[in-house]
Amino acid sequence: MGNYLVYFPSYAYLSAVLELLKERLPDNQLIVQDRAMTEAEREAFLTRFSSSNQETLVGLAVMGGIFGEGIDLVGERLIGVVVVGVGIPQLGLERDLIKEYFDHQMSSGFAYAYQYPGFNRVLQATGRVIRSETDRGIIVLIDDRFTHSRYRHLFPSHWRGYQVVPNSSEMRDNLARFWSHK
């Protein structure tokens, strides 16, 4: 039980996973960010994250989108964030120019053009779960690339105790252990 936000790298990815989640979760337990949400719809989305929810609520959002930063769901309003992917921005002329510039300057164009901006999105999304010193929650990063040194060295110091979990069974066990230690 509890409220979770799952962040995806794109609307296309979110849509693909949405169909699978609809098979597993009742409609009242699933809310989805839409590209063209009005201010009232945004507020309604956030209001659903209530600490008095009696069932699990799963919100689906896009990294770098309207729910990726600047929202405060303190306490029990949000107890977990799942980030799917490393947040790399779409390929484009501007990013390619940045990459080319930094490749010539210090041979790290990809990092400056794609990796760092992407990881910033990851940090913004994960920052939604812990908003005060009394908040408690989980962060799940889903992508093998997070296990590589290229990304591990970007982890904040308080993430140093992270665990790599190879399967859903072990994930369930780890989560049960975490929530049993209050």
How much is the pLDDT for 130?
82
How much is the pLDDT for 121?
96
pLDDT in tens, 110-129: 999 999 999 999 999 999 99
pLDDT in tens, 58-73: 999 999 999 998 898 9
| pLDDT(161) > 90 | no
Q: Where are the alpha helices (DSSP H) in 78-167?
A: 93-106, 109-110, 116-126, 149-152
Mean per-residue pLDDT of the chain: 92
How much is the pLDDT for 142?
95
Q: Are 84 and 7 in contact (CB under 8 A)?
A: yes
How much is the pLDDT for 38?
95
Q: Are 48 and 109 in contact (CB under 8 A)?
A: no
| pLDDT(95) > 80 | yes
How much is the pLDDT for 158?
85
H or E element: which one contains 176? Answer: helix 168-180
Residue among 127, 115, 128 nearest 156 (CA):
127
> What is the distance between the alpha carbons of residues 11 and 176, in angstroms, rounded to a whole number?
31
Name the percent of the chain lying above pLDDT 70. 99
pLDDT band at 181 (very low <50, low <70, confident <90, very high): confident
How much is the pLDDT for 170?
93
Domains of the chain by residue range: 3-180
Specify the CATH architecture of the domain 3-180. Answer: 3-Layer(aba) Sandwich (3.40)
For residues 74-80, average pLDDT:
92
